[in-house]
Structure 1
Amino acid sequence: MKDSARDDEFEPDMPPPGDAEYLLKHFWQVGPTLGDESINNTELRNYQENEGITLSPWECKTLRRLSIEYLNESHKATKRDCPPPFADSTDAARLKQAEILRNLDTFLG
């Protein structure tokens, strides 16, 4: 996206995580993936044991789901015409504008 926007400082708008912020911290500590695989129950069990914590079943399911979605989106993102997952945000409009300008430069160039 930084390349599309031609902006090295580009950071997409992210929704505030609210009360789920702690889950995102666990997500980034344990994953988000295991290479080309989503995090699994064994990895989550080992993570909990190593950290001395206990996550509830729904927290583990949520972390696995986040990992699966992250992996799926990372595969989709390799396609040049892949729309951003935040299509309704101001970032999508900014990226679209950058694409239009780039196409115009190419056409006029």
Structure 2
Amino acid sequence: MLRLGYTPPTRKSLAGGLLDKIFNEVTTMTASALEGRDVSLVQDGWSDIHNSPVISHCVHSGEISYFLISVDAGSNKKIATYCTSLAIEASKEVTDKFGCKVVAVVIDNEQKMQ
């Protein structure tokens, strides 16, 4: 209202080029911060408001945590073998994408994760 000549970005421009630009900038900054470092992979699972199982992975450098990926588990049960396979995939992605080495994995202390 104070800037009559200002036209805010549209939903389409925010979800397209601008989002892609910011994503690439954040990915580049994360890669430069993690390259050559030893990191911990952190895995956690929960259910969203629709009771759908979600499993996410973060990378912790010892100083800062970086969000990596969140997976909708769908019909897969959150059991140790499934969560382990996701952790292995995430570890490979971290190594390939950011050039760092996963030296530890942190998971839930839950009965089904034994």
TM-score range, shorter chain: under 0.3
- Could you tell me the TM-score, scaled by structure 1's length? 0.26
More helix by share: 1
More strand by share: 2
- Could you tell me the TM-score, scaled by structure 2's length? 0.25
